[in-house]
C-alpha cells in the first residue's frame, strides 16, 4: 500500500475539495480527526484503512476509485450527498454549511461567462448571492 499512498492522498484531497468542504467539515462528516485527514492528504504518515473505508462509505466513492491514478469526483457529488443525507441531521448540517470559495469558483463561476470581462468585486458578490453563495468581498 505504501506506493499507493501518494495516489490516495491526492484523491482524498480532490474528493474533499470537489465537495467544497474544509478539513474540519470533511473530517466531521467522515468521523475522523482533522489531524488524521491532514496526514492522509499530505501522504506523510501511514494511515489506517479503516479511515479510508469510512471516507469511501460516507461519500459513496468506492475504494477502487480512490486508488485510481486518474480519479476525479463527480461534478454533482455535493448535491447527491445533500439529497442522500437530508434525513441525517448531523451530516445534513455539515453539508449545508457554505462551500469553500475554491469550490464556488470552480463549480459556479468558471462554467459561466461571468469572467469573460473584468468585474468589480461587488458584481461577483451579487452574482454569487443570487445563486445562494455568500462569500465576503475580501475573500474574493
Q: Can you give the CATH number for the domain in which 17 is found?
A: 1.10.260
Same domain for 115 and 85, yes or no, is no
- Residues 1, 140: Cα–Cα separation, whole Å: 39
Residue 133 CB neighbours (<10 A): 19
Q: Give the domain-ending residue among 74, 95, 116.
A: 95
Same domain, 89 and 105: no
Rounded Cα–Cα distance for residues 62 and 135 (Å) = 32
How many other CB atoms are found less than 10 A from the CB of residue 120? 9
Average pLDDT of the residues in 4-26: 94
Summarised one tens digit per residue, pLDDT across range 50-107 is: 999 999 999 999 999 999 999 999 988 999 999 999 999 999 999 988 888 888 888 8
Domain range for 85 is: 2-95
- Shared domain for 82 and 107, answered yes or no, is no
pLDDT, position 1? 53
Q: For residue range 41-52, what is the model confidence (pLDDT) as tens digits?
A: 998 877 788 999
Count other C-beta atoms under 10 Å from residue 135's C-beta.
Answer: 17
Stretch 31-43: mean pLDDT: 93
Share of the chain above pLDDT 90, in %: 58
> Residue 89 and residue 109: Cα distance in Å, rounded?
29
21 and 73 inside one domain: yes
Amino acid at each position: 500500500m505504501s506506493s499507493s499512498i501518494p495516489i490516495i492522498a491526492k484523491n482524498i484531497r480532490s474528493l474533499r475539495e470537489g465537495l467544497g468542504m474544509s478539513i474540519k467539515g470533511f473530517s466531521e462528516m467522515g468521523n475522523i480527526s482533522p489531524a488524521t485527514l491532514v496526514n492522509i492528504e499530505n501522504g506523510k504518515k501511514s494511515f489506517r484503512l479503516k479511515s479510508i473505508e469510512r471516507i469511501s462509505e460516507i461519500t459513496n466513492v468506492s475504494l477502487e476509485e480512490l486508488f485510481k491514478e486518474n480519479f476525479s469526483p463527480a461534478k454533482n457529488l455535493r448535491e447527491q450527498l445533500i439529497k442522500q443525507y437530508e434525513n441525517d441531521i448531523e451530516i445534513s448540517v455539515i453539508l449545508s454549511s457554505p462551500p469553500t470559495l475554491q469550490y464556488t469558483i470552480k463549480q459556479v463561476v468558471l462554467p459561466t461567462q461571468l469572467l469573460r470581462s473584468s468585474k468589480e468585486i461587488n458584481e461577483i458578490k451579487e452574482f454569487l448571492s443570487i445563486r445562494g453563495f455568500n462569500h465576503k468581498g475580501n475573500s474574493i
